[in-house]
Structure 1
Amino acid sequence: MIELLPTKSTFTPGELVEIEIRGDAPRGKMSVWYLGDSVLELDYDGSATIALPGLGIGSYGIELSDGTSTVRTAVQVAEQSAARLRYGFVVDYSPNRDLTGVSDTVRRLHLTGVQFYDWAYRHAELMGGGENYTDALAQPISLATVRELVQVVQQAGAKALGYAAVYAVGPDEWPAWQHQALLNGAQAPYGLGDFLFLVDPAAPDWLEHFVGDLTAAVDSVGFDGFHLDQYGYPKMARRPDGDIVDVAQSFTTMIDTVRSGLPEATLVFNNVNDFPTWSTGSSPQDAVYIEVWSPQETLGSLASVVTRARTVAGSKPIVIAAYQHVYDSAPTAESDRATALTMAALYSHGATHLLAGEADRILVDPYYVRNHPVEPSTAELLKRWYDFLVEHDELLLDTSIVDVTGATVGAYNDDTDVTFESAIVGETGLPGEIWRRVTESNGRRIIHLINLVGQVDSLWDAPRNPTADVGAGRVKIRRIPGCVPRVQVADPDGLGRLIDVEVTVDGEFAFAVLPPLAVWQLVLIDPTSRQGEDNDNR
């Protein structure tokens, strides 16, 4: 097996971009592609690494070919890796563990942030266990391993973010904090079973303690920042002193205070089930992160969550934690199809997906220690789709992208659309249809086609039927006079990069026939790409 592995998940401008070649790769050509155009070609002489000179800011596909077979990866050159959050996780801090698999995952999937889940001694005493301890759920922790993992993640190009619950106190620490309890209607403290109890996250004495704990963790362990967690409840509560607490407001106060105490830290707050994204989305953190649960169970609801988040996120990246429990109950092939549709829905709407981490593991449970080892098919799927996400970053995640579906498709608009002879095309992600979305950015039009034909529902965490054969779509584009648009199409399960398709002209319209649709296609239209006479064909 031959694999291309970037030496880092993201490169900065001026930094030497290097690709490690694993396996017995024959001599051949290495080529670099930018949005379907070849920008660099080098001879490959069989060495273990190859440098790619002169790559400016942007995202690129990388191919190594010996004339008969091709292997791929992607690289991104960016001023700030924080502009994107391709998020992963680690959970194993046992002494002397192997760290190579984590580094490979960060590099292979181009992760820019890694959540260090449940690394601490206790929820309310992060650093209270010394150098070796068991955590609150009896998992063995070596701080030496945590520090080594932090360094491995950073060397691979990602940020190391320590997990910290923002208002959770265990039974041993509860007597010191029960005066700040969040009480329910029965005057009992809200909690997580009998394992944790919740305090007002904006209580001044709690915040002083919490920020102090985080600061000590940065100093001792070397974290780049923190994943700030909550549980999605309560929304309103009362403290023992009688004050009513608006928890959404308390969360924003907490984030403001943590930012003041740790001005250089990367901060990611968990908006559980979209609560309270409307309040925290514009707060001084580095991403808008949402963990979804019922009733947000369909692919369309995922799209709606991302769309709402974009209204408050500004330039922040959006990450959705959608755990694929399906792998615990369904065959791998059916689960892989569910994961592909989940990623297609998220990527096409401008969000990334927290799913993969450790050494080839995926999340199937909110307690990350109960993760799922990936089968080869899942590993190959993730590799292809994360490469695709990086290579087409500016067509998927750029904050300039706007949804123009309602302004372009249909008989009234008749500007840009795709039709299929044997399938219905719709806008809302209904089962049995092709889900079509049209966006625009920097003068280009981008069409997303997601194949839900043959599915009996649109649940994102459920076994999926095989992809139905719907044949090829036909694109219709209203032309600019004197121009013939360029039409390119990319498929993460196909070649992986944009390829040109033939465009024909008939009066005021141009037409193109797309390759057969599998799970997801991205169609890129440049309406001013080619100047020519009105009767031009190509």
Structure 2
Amino acid sequence: MTEPSTAAGARPVELLPTRATYAPTEPVRIEVRGAASDGHLTVWSLGDLVATMPVGDAGEVDLGPLPVGTYGVELAAAGDAAPLARTAVEVTADLRSRLRYGFVADYAPGRDVAPVTDLVRRLHLTGVQLYDWAYRHADLVGGGEEYTDALDRPVSLDTVRRLVAGIHAAGSRSFGYAAVYGVGRAEWPTWAHAALLTPTGEPYGLADFLSLVDPAEPSWLEHLGADLAASVAAVGLDGFHLDQYGYPKRAVRADGTVVDVADSFVTLVQAVRDRLPDSHLVFNNVNDFPTWRTGASPQDAVYIEVWEPHLTLGSLGQVVTRARAVGDGKPVVIAAYQHVYDVAPAVESDLATAFTMATLFSHGATHLLAGDGDRILVDPYYVRNHVVEPSTAGLLARWYDFLVEHDALLVDPAVVDVTGAYAGPYNDDVDVTFARADVGSDAVAGTVWRRVTRAGDALVVHLVNLVGQQDTRWDAPRHPVGDPGPGTLRVRRTGPGLPRVRVADPTATPRLVEVPVVADGDHAVAHLPAPHVWQVVVIDDGGSAAPSRDLDTTDITDTHGADS
């Protein structure tokens, strides 16, 4: 979805898929909100037109079943080529293969769940974490139908069930939050024997209301497994978000056993999988601990909540790269809370979020940030969230659409980084230069950060524009994006033909469009529009094909407002 367009005197126009994701046999239906009965929908697959459908008065367009893949969908009025609105669609036979993650943190009696389900559809969220839904950390469903949680927030299980049902109806999954080793004061006498102790003999804890046990202690494992199973029966959860706090790494248990907590986490994930073989599981590797041990464990994603020293865009990219290397093809999700919204105006904070998403998406990960209808995360206690402004809502919709539409180029597990093998003067296979900015393979303020990946037979060049920035912190106010000038792409040809070169940008040109390509000896050259925050360049080898036609560069148009 784009920021809805508005004609004079008309309601905003918005496209909204009926589901976050579709099975191959399901008809893909697009809700059209606003007046656009004389328009038509076009469906695109990586920039190629695959279908056109008229928009009638019914308010919903049935595209029928589509082949497995991801698509962009545009709405244009009759006689007008510029889209009024956009959205994206995913068709997959395996819901577990991707995790675009959101959250809920409000279970008050009678709350309206429609804003949550709308957001699931708008951002194509394939999983929603129900944060702090339970009665107590060590007694998930013992509070009856209505209660206050451990921090005195009201919870109605009727609301939880309605949220779960709404998330299901929107084509997504519900993950109940569950701490894997936290025990409250009321339950502590039962579990003190399993305590993880500090060197001075006190139990490790969180704030003043939780103490920590060995997550692999047998009696605790039996209790936790039974509690999780009871939760599935009570409210219909699809699975669980298994949380920890990042410490201790090693500790002595109350019975004197020395515990390697990384090993205990692996044991726990396996035990929960054995107890709940059909549940979807996500374990939190706090600050990358211990991703190297849990990445291959039997769960459904590699999820990492980042803190210091992972403060820069470059460090985010490195975290994702490590996670993909150990995850056996699982989707990678990074929880990078944008505290910047608490201290800076939306215009500066939105740019920080755009740079965070550009880094994560271009490295093959997704971002836990949005949820609860109109909120984003600015704090690890999800209740302390931030109500988004319209600029932030529009930014998220554009970028999540872009993520889904270009899934095969971004987060497919088969995508590999080939920067060191292709770019630079020694390799001389592919590179980009700009009129007014340096280009490099590291995230350096004032430059264009260039990475090259291979997605199937295509080369994909990611250009993150750090011109105008004084540092590369991801959670800090950002300066307006600088202009590096137009770019020049130079790529080695395979044979006498010319490659096909296309560009897309979530800010300016959300659908891949072709740019002219000319021969220059053994190379081909294409001129690129200046990037805003992030530009994606896709190069398809022309091999022995005939030289490509000249293209009208007016195809490259700015159909969205700038993210700054």
Same fold (TM over 0.5): yes
2:29 to 18, 33, 41: 18
Q: Paired residue for 2:377?
A: 363
Q: Partner letter of residue 432 of structure 1?
A: G
Structure 2's unaligned 5+ residue stretches are 1-11, 552-564
Report if the CA contact (8 A) 1:484-1:536 is conserved.
no
Residue identity in the other structure for 1:385: W
Q: CA deviation at 1:155?
A: 0.6
Query: Can you list the C-alpha shifts for 1:324-351, whole angstroms capped at 9, x where unaligned?
Result: 0000000000000000000000000000
What is the deviation of 1:62? 0.1
| Aligned 8 A contact 2:24 2:65 in 1 | no
Shift in Å at residue 81 of structure 1? 1.4
Matched, 1:9 2:20: yes
Tell me whether 1:379 sits opposite 2:390 in the alignment.
no
CA contact (8 A) 2:138 2:182 kept: yes
Whether contact under 8 Å (1:6, 1:20) holds in the other structure is yes
State the distance in 1 between where 2:544 and 2:406 align: 22
Alignment of 1:148-163 (within 5 A): 148-163=162-177
The one-character-per-residue Cα deviations of 1:35-88 (angstroms, maximum 9, x if unpaired) are 010000112223310011241000000001014451100000001111000000
Structure 1 consecutive aligned stretches of length 4 or more whose deviation exceeds 2 Å = 535-538
| Residue aligning to 2:122 | 108
| Partner in structure 2 of residue 472 of structure 1 | 486
Query: For each residue in 1:235-255, what CA deviation from the matched residue of structure 2 results, as whole angstroms up to 9, or x when unmatched?
Result: 000011111000000000000
Asked if the contact 2:265–2:294 (Cα under 8 Å) also holds between the matched residues in 1, the reply is yes
SS of equivalent to 1:254 = helix
Q: 1:421 deviation in Å? A: 1.5
1:529 is displaced (CA, Å) by 6.6
Whether the 8 Å CA contact 2:126–2:171 is kept in 1: the answer is yes
CA offsets 1:391-441 (integer angstroms, 9 cap, x no match):
000000111111110111111110000000110101111111100000002
Q: CA-to-partner distance for each residue in 1:239-291, whole Å, 9 max, x for gaps? A: 11111000000000000000000000000000000000000000000000000
- Alignment partner, residue 352 of structure 1: 366
- Contact 1:93–1:141 (CA under 8 A) maintained in structure 2: yes
Match 2:463 to one of 424, 431, 449: 449
- % identical equivalent positions: 60
Q: Match for 1:144 among 131, 134, 158? A: 158
Q: Which amino acid aligns with 1:319?
A: V
Counterpart contact for 1:486–1:530, Cα < 8 Å = no
Specify the code of the residue in structure 1 equivalent to 2:449.
W
Aligned partners of 1:435 and 1:451 also within 8 Å: yes
How far apart in 1 are the matches of 2:140 and 2:239? 14
> Displacement, 1:383?
0.4
Contact residue 505 and residue 536 of structure 1 kept, 8 A: no
Following superposition of structure 1 onto structure 2, how do residues 259-274 of structure 1 map, counting pairs within 5 Å? 259-274=273-288
> Residue 541 of structure 2 aligns to a residue in which SS?
strand
- Deviation of residue 507 (structure 1)? 1.4
**298, 304, 313: which one aligns with 1:290:** 304
Q: Does 1:398 align with 2:412?
A: yes
Equivalent position SS for 2:499 = strand
Whichever residue aligns with residue 387 of structure 1, its letter is D
Query: Once superposed, what is the RMSD of the aligned Cα atoms?
Result: 1.1
> Relative to structure 2, which stretch is displaced further, 500-509 or 68-77?
68-77
1:304 to 318, 329, 344: 318
Residues matched between the structures, number: 537
**What TM-score does the superposition give when structure 2 sets the normalisation length?**
0.94
Q: Which segments of 5 or more consecutive residues in structure 1 lack a partner in the other structure? A: none
Paired position in structure 2 for 1:45: 56
How far is the alpha carbon of 1:232 from its aligned partner? 0.2
Q: Distance in 2 between matches of 1:536 and 1:95?
A: 62
Contact 1:85–1:113 (8 Å) recurs in 2: yes
In the alignment, what sits opposite 1:121?
135
Cα distance between partner residues in 2 of 1:241 and 1:415: 61
* Conservation of the 8 A alpha-carbon contact between 1:272 and 1:290: yes
8 Å CA contact 2:36, 2:55 repeated in 1: no
CA distance in 1: counterparts of 2:382 and 2:349, whole angstroms: 18
TM (normalized to structure 1)? 0.98
| SS class of match (1:98) | coil
In the other structure, the counterpart of 2:266 is 252
Residues 362 and 373, structure 1, Cα contact 8 Å, conserved in 2: yes
Superposed displacement of residue 117, structure 1: 0.2
